[in-house]
Structure 1
Amino acid sequence: MSRRGNCFDNAPIESFWGSLKNELVYHREFMTRSQAQKEITEYIEIFYNRQRTQERLDYLSPAAFTQRFHLRRIGA
């Protein structure tokens, strides 16, 4: 990856940036940089990673998917 001409190289992070902008940034007006940083951090740490379900993760949140993965690994 990371070679010129590899169209899938940045696909996951580009998808994330699109979600972040559509779900938070475009709907808010931040008064200060620190307010923007705080709210974006909360979005990522609380909503995106712990609550937002994602189709590619079998409609689980990333946190729930990770927990399920580790439980299956321990039980195997």
Structure 2
Amino acid sequence: MLETPTALIVDYIDEHKHEFGVEPICATLSAAGTQIAPSTYYAAKTRPPSARSLRDEQVLVEIRRVHEANYGVYGARKVHAQLRREGLQVARCTVERLMRAAGL
């Protein structure tokens, strides 16, 4: 899954909250220049995934399938063209972004 900077910070807090607690970690990160409030952490943990992130997960499955079916040599342009031929409506910039994030 693709992660935003807030998601990275939330993951970091998740890893260390049992040792230090959420509020002290947030205070230390804020003192170091990374602003995050405990309420932001808790809100990020309880909100449902966005429509974009859900769609990205579905499209990434198809991108991986097409990429692997073509011996891992197709770039974003050819993967996009193949997905469009198969009837999946997706923008080429989305294919590029997801392939880059997935390391394809």
- Normalised-by-shorter TM-score class: 0.3 to 0.5
Q: Highest Rg: 1 or 2?
A: 2
Provide the TM-score with structure 2 as the length reference. Answer: 0.28
With the length of structure 1 as denominator, give the TM-score of the two structures: 0.34
Query: Greater helix percent: which structure?
Result: 2
